[in-house]
């Protein structure tokens, strides 16, 4: 089980220059980097791969960014843009030797308001159709798409492990897996450990984040139970710290970080990594 860090904590957008952080990530003790791609044109994947190799790190995952113009349940243009974006990210993953594309691939983040059952069912069928398209592309490239349920304040579409499992079943592609996040589960799941066990072998990616978006371990989340559940399902994927601070303004606004949650982002990274190494050992 590798422990990784999401680049959103330190930079956005991710560019060739952002690779300067790799040496620091390695020094702190991380095994992998989760590269958040705002626009695939922002960097050269071959250059980034060379810098990862130089630092002794791997790209364990590529994190998708889904705004209003990238929405598999949106209008025709948003659907087309999202499909093209996901395919471009998968192409980058080939050059990066990265196995997983992760995130809320089904919808634009922040799209909330709720839908009547008939409209929800229509959107569900639309997402199934579009996910089949991108999953087929991922299969051909030997990559996987790890779909993340978000909390109710960030999406009105897929909030729980149960809903995500139903989507995986309906899409029916071996490339579609689950991605669970402790922050979102803390809001939506009755019991995080039980959700992990329910995901079972379909769980392919995991975000470790404090209940307040801060440092893993400095919160009320039941980490020992989560560790036992990950062990029970024989989880072998990456565990990635995805926390946010006010340092990266665009991400702070998107994640509603209106106050200083922790003294520093370095503290989140180093403290979280030390806690997770001990807890997940």
CA distance 127 to 74: 9
Half-sphere exposure of 138 (CA within 13 A, CB side): 28
Which 3 state secondary structure label does DSSP give 249?
helix
Dihedrals phi, psi of 221, to nearest 5 degrees: -65, 145
DSSP 213: S
Other Cβ atoms less than 10 A from the Cβ of 101: the count is 28
For residue 111, give the DSSP letter.
Answer: B
Question: Is 242 considered catalytic here?
Answer: yes
Cα Dmax for the chain:
53
For the record, the structure tokens of 155 come out as 């999406």
Does residue 200 contact residue 180 with C-beta atoms inside 8 Å?
no
Cβ atoms 35, 96 nearer than 8 A: yes
Catalytic residue among 154, 188, 189, 242: 242
**What 3-state DSSP class applies to 92?**
helix
Assess whether the previous peptide bond of 213 is cis (omega < 30° from 0).
Answer: no
Q: Give 120: exposed, middle or buried? Use CB within 10 Å, 0-12, 13-18, 19+.
A: middle
> Which residues lie below 8 Å from residue 49, measured CB to CB, with a gap of 6+?
59, 95, 96, 97
Mark whether 189 is an active-site residue.
Answer: no
Catalytic choice (148, 188, 189, 262): 148
**Residue length of the chain:** 281
Q: Which residues are catalytic?
A: 148, 242
């Amino acid at each position: 089980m590798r422990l990784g860090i999401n680049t959103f904590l330190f930079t956005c957008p991710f560019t060739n220059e952002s690779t300067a952080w790799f040496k620091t990530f390695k020094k702190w003790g991380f095994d992998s980097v989760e590269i958040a791609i705002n626009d695939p044109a922002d960097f050269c994947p071959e250059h980034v791969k060379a810098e990862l190799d130089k630092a002794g790190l791997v790209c364990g995952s590529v994190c998708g960014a889904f705004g209003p113009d990238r929405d598999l349940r949106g209008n025709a243009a948003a659907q087309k843009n999202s499909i093209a974006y996901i395919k471009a990210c998968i192409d980058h993953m080939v050059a990066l030797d990265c196995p997983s594309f992760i995130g809320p691939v089904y919808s634009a983040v922040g799209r909330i308001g709720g839908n009547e059952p008939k409209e929800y069912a229509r959107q569900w069928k639309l997402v199934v159709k579009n996910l089949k398209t991108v999953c087929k592309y991922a299969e051909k490239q030997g990559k996987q798409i790890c779909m993340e349920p978000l909390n109710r304040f960030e999406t009105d579409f897929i909030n729980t492990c149960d809903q995500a499992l139903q989507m995986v079943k309906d899409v029916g592609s071996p490339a579609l897996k689950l991605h669970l996040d402790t922050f979102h589960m803390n809001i939506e799941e009755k019991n995080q450990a039980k959700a992990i066990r329910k995901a079972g072998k379909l769980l392919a990616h995991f975000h470790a984040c404090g209940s307040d978006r801060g440092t893993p371990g400095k919160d009320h989340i039941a980490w020992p139970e989560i560790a036992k559940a990950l062990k029970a399902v024989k989880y072998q994927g990456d565990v990635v710290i995805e926390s946010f601070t006010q340092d990266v303004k665009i991400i702070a606004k998107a994640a509603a970080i209106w106050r200083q949650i922790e003294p520093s982002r370095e503290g989140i990274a180093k403290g979280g990594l030390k806690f997770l190494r001990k807890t997940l050992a």
